[in-house]
Amino acid sequence: MGCLMKSSNENNQRLNSEFSANKIYIWDPLVRIFHWTLVLAFSLAFISEDDYITIHSWSGYTILSLLTIRIFWGFVGTKHALFSDFVFSKTKIIQFIKNTLSFKAKRYLGHNPAGGAMVILLMISLLITACSGLIIFAIEENQGPLVFLFSNVNSFGADIAENLHEFFADFTLFLIFVHIFGVIVESLIHKENLIKSMFTGNKKA
Cβ atoms of 133 and 10 closer than 8 Å: no
Residues constituting the chain: 205
- pTM, entire model: 0.86
Supply angle C-alpha 77, 62, 123, rounded to 5: 55
Taking only the tens place, the pLDDT of each residue in 109-165 is 999 999 999 999 999 999 999 999 999 888 888 888 888 888 777 777 788 999 999
- Comparing 50-59, 63-72, 116-125, the range with the smallest average pLDDT is 50-59
Cβ atoms of 29 and 113 closer than 8 Å: no
Mean of per-residue pLDDT scores for the chain? 88
Model pLDDT, residue 41: 97
> How many other CB atoms sit within 10 Å of the CB of residue 98?
11
Give the confidence band of 49 by pLDDT, cuts at 50, 70, 90. Answer: confident
Model pLDDT, residue 105: 87
Q: How far apart are CA 58 and CA 56, in angstroms?
A: 6
DSSP letter, residue 1:
-
Model pLDDT, residue 17: 45
- Comparing 9-13, 24-28, 78-82, 107-111, the range with the smallest average pLDDT is 9-13
Model pLDDT, residue 53: 87
What DSSP string describes 127-144?
HHHHHHHHHHHHHHHS-S
Burial 30-39 (b: 16+ CB within 10 A, else e): ebbebeeebe
Domains of the chain, each with CATH number or no CATH? 2-204 (1.20.950.20)
CA-CA-CA-CA torsion sign (115, 121, 123, 125): negative
Contacts of residue 193, defined as CB under 8 A and 6 or more positions apart, other chains included, come to 187
